Amino acid sequence: MATISDVATRAGVSTATVSRALNGKSTVDPELAARVLAAADELGYRPNGPARNLRKQETAVLALIISDVENPFFTAISRGVEDVAHSAGYSVVLCNSDDEPDKEREYIDVALQERVAGVLLSPAGAGDSADLLRTHGTPVVALDRPLPNSFGDTVLVDSRDAARDAALHLSAQGYRDIACITGPTGVLTADDRLAGYQDGLREAGRTVSDDLVRRCEFKAAGAKEAARSLLTQDPRPEAVLVANNAMAVGVLETMAELGLRAGRDVGVVAFDDAPWATLLDPPLTVVSQPAYDMGAVGAQLLLSRIGGDRTDASTTTLSAHLVTRGSSSRS
Amino acid sequence: MATISDVATRAGVSTATVSRALNGKSTVDPELAARVLAAADELGYRPNGPARNLRKQETAVLALIISDVENPFFTAISRGVEDVAHSAGYSVVLCNSDDEPDKEREYIDVALQERVAGVLLSPAGAGDSADLLRTHGTPVVALDRPLPNSFGDTVLVDSRDAARDAALHLSAQGYRDIACITGPTGVLTADDRLAGYQDGLREAGRTVSDDLVRRCEFKAAGAKEAARSLLTQDPRPEAVLVANNAMAVGVLETMAELGLRAGRDVGVVAFDDAPWATLLDPPLTVVSQPAYDMGAVGAQLLLSRIGGDRTDASTTTLSAHLVTRGSSSRS
DNA sequence: GTGAAAGCGCTAACAG
DNA sequence: CTGTTAGCGCTTTCAC
C-alpha cells in the first residue's frame, strides 16, 4: 500500500509538503498541491491511520459500552451516538458488556489500549472499572446510569418522575393494588423506577406493599416468571408497572397464558415505547424514553470534553413521558 | 501514560525484554519476566495500540457496515459478529450506511485508512465501493446480500425458498389473490423474496399478477402506504406476504385502520421473527431468519481469511424457516 | 537469554 | 512556501 513517501516521490516534493497539502495545514503552492493530489489519487493513497494516530497521540475513535445491542433501548442510544460521532469525523467501536462487570472492564482495557478519544459507558453495576479511565485521563460520559463515584458527564432519564406519573395514571384509572416489576437491586434505573412507583402510590393515597413488587433481570424470561407469581395471587393485583420493554414482552406472554386481557383485567404500563406497541390489542401504554437523544447528547458532551472543555462534570437529565393507550384503561 | 521504556527502566531491563515478557514470545528468564510484570503493573502500563499496530502492520479490528442498527435483523447480525470477534480478541467498529452508497463508501474509506483487519459488509446496492477493498487486499465478507462482482466470502439466507414456502402456505390455507410487499428493485433480498413469492404462486397453480405487488423501502412508512393501496382495491387481496419486519409494522397499522383482522380478513406472513410477534392477536406468522448465525458465521469466515486461509471465495447459504401462527389462518 | 538499534508512516518543529 | 529531521511507542532482526 502506497505510503506518503511514494506520493512525495511521484509528485517530486518532500513528504512534509504532501502532508501539508493533504491536510490543508498552512499554505502550499497551488501548483504543488495539485501535483500532490494527483499523485495521491493515482496511487490510491490513503494515509496510514495507526501511524498518524501514533504521531498525533490521539485517535478519532469513541468506544460505546452498553449492555446489549439487541435491546432496542440501547440500539436507539447507539444510533444517536453514531450519528453525532460520524458527523464529527469519529468512528465508534461498539461493545456489549451484557451487564457483566468483568466484560465491561475488559472492554475498558481495550479502549485504553487503543487510546480511544473517549468512552460512552452505560455502567453495568457498582464496579469500579471506570476508575481506570479516570486515572488514565480518558474522557467518559455515563449513559442512563451514573458512574459509582461520579466523574465525567452523565446523561440520565428522569425515570423516577416518569414511574411516578405512570403509577398515578394507573391509580387515576381506577386500578387498586398496583404491582411493579423492576430490575435488579443496585441498578439505579431499576431502583429509581421502583421509587417513583412508590412515590406515585403514596401520592395517590394507596398503600405501598412489598408483596406487589418483583425484581428480576431486565429480560423477558425473568419478567414472565415474576408476572406469573404476581398474577396468580389471590386477590390478583389490578395493574402492573413494568420497568422495561423486554420485560413487558414476558409479562404480556404470561397474561396471554392466564387468559388475562390488558386494560380490562389488568392495567399495564411499561417503560420504553416500541413500534409494535400500537399493534397490540389493546395498544400498550408506555413511558417513552428519549433514547436516541441520550446517545446524541452524550456523544456531544464527550466530543466537547475531548475538544478540551474543562468545565466541571455535568449531569443532564432528560425527561421521559407517559404515552397513554388502551392497556391502562378498563373500558 | 507509561511507555514500554518506563517499564524497562523500572524493571532494569531493555525494552526488548519487556516486549518479549509481555507478549510471551520466545523465552525470557522467569525472574526477569516477573520483574517486568511487576513493573508494568505498578505503572499501570498498557501497550500503546496505535504504536503496536503501526509496527506490526496489522490491527485487531473489524469493520461492520450495515444499513441500520435500529433494524432488529441487523442488530442480531451485529451481535453474532461481536460475539465471535470478541472471543478472538478483535474489536468491531459499527457503521450505519442507511443503505446509501455514498455513506457506505465513506465508511469503507475509513476502514481502509484505519487498516482494519477485515470488513463485514451488507452492501447497500449495486455500488462498486467494495472494489476499493479488493484493490487494497482487505478481506471482505458480504452479509445478507452478495457483492456486485463477487469476491470474498458471502453469507446469505435462502430468502427465495422461504418466500416460496410462505406463498405456498398461504395458498394452502385457502387464500386466493395473494399480494406481496417487497423492497426496492435491485436489492437482491427484495428481488429474491418477490421471485420466491412468484415461484410459490405458480407452483400452487395461481395466477401471478403485478397488480398484487408493491415495492417500497424496507421501512414501516412505505409499507403502510403500499398496504393501503393494496387493501383498498376491489376485489381486495386475500393475503399478503411482507418482506421484512419493519414493513410488517406498517402493514398491520394500515390493517388496523381499515378494520381488517389478520387471518380472518387478510392472511399475513412477514419476514423476520420478533419477540412481539406472538403477542399480537392473532399471532404473526413469520419467516424466521438466522440473523445471529449469519453474523457469527460471517465473522468466522472473515477471521480465517485474515488468518491467511487462501481458499477460493465461498458462498454459505443459511436457510430460513416458516413459523406458522394465527395470522395466516382463517379460523 | 538479552540488549542495541532500526524502522513501521506520519506530523511538527525548525531552518532556509 | 518548502525541505530536513526528529521522534511518537512498539516489535524484531541481529549480534553477543
How many angstroms is C1' of C8 away from CA of A77?
38
Nearest to A165 by CA among A197, A192, A194: A197
Element (H, E) at B144: none
Q: Determine if strand C comes within 7 Å of the CB of B206.
A: no
Nearest CA in chain A to B132: A44
B contacts of A280 (beta carbons < 8 Å): 276, 279-281
Residues with Cβ < 8 Å from B215, sequence gap 6 or more? B181, B182, B183, B184, B185, B190, B226
**C-alpha cell recorded at residue A162:** 416518569
Contacts of A44 (CB under 8 A, 6+ apart): A2, B135, B136
Nearest residue to A289 via CA among A302, A306, A272:
A272
A244 near B CB under 8 A: no
Q: Which of B152, B192, B84, B165 is nearest to B305 (CA)?
A: B152
Q: How far is B273 from B72, CA to CA, in rounded Å?
A: 9
Please state the domain extents for chain A: 4-47, 56-157+291-319, 159-289+322-328
C-alpha cell recorded at residue B294: 449469519
In this prediction, residue B25 has a pLDDT band, given cuts at 50, 70 and 90, of confident
Sheet holding B285-288, edge to edge: B213-215, B178-182, B239-242, B267-271, B285-288, B321-323
CATH fold of A4-47, please? 434 Repressor (Amino-terminal Domain) (1.10.260)
Question: What CATH number was assigned to the domain covering residues A159-289+322-328?
Answer: 3.40.50.2300
Q: Kindly report the number of other CB atoms within 10 A of residue B142's CB atom.
A: 24
Instruction: Among 3.40.50.2300, 3.20.20.100, 3.30.530.20, 3.50.50.60, name the CATH number for the domain at B56-157+291-319.
Output: 3.40.50.2300
- The tens place of each residue's pLDDT in chain A, 331 residues long, gives 899 999 999 999 999 999 999 998 878 899 999 999 999 999 999 999 999 999 999 999 999 999 999 999 999 999 999 999 999 999 999 999 998 999 999 999 999 999 999 999 998 876 678 888 988 989 999 999 998 776 789 999 999 999 999 999 999 999 999 999 999 998 899 999 999 999 999 999 998 999 999 999 999 999 999 999 999 999 999 999 999 999 999 999 999 999 999 999 999 999 999 999 999 999 999 999 999 999 999 999 999 999 887 788 899 999 999 999 999 999 8
Specify the pTM. Answer: 0.94
Distance, CA of B64 to CA of B62 (rounded, Å): 6
- Measured CA to CA, the distance from residue B200 to residue B205 in angstroms comes to 9
Inter-chain CB proximity A44 and B274 less than 8 Å: no
Residues of chain A positioned with their CB less than 8 A from the CB of B92: 93-94
Preferred mutation among B45, B136, B279 to probe A, highest tally of A CBs within 10 A: B279
Find the range with the poorest average confidence among A302-311, B134-143, B273-282. Answer: A302-311
Q: Are domains B56-157+291-319 and B159-289+322-328 of this chain identical in fold?
A: yes
Query: What pLDDT is recorded for position B94?
Result: 95
Rounded to whole angstroms, the Cα distance separating B198 from B192 reads 10
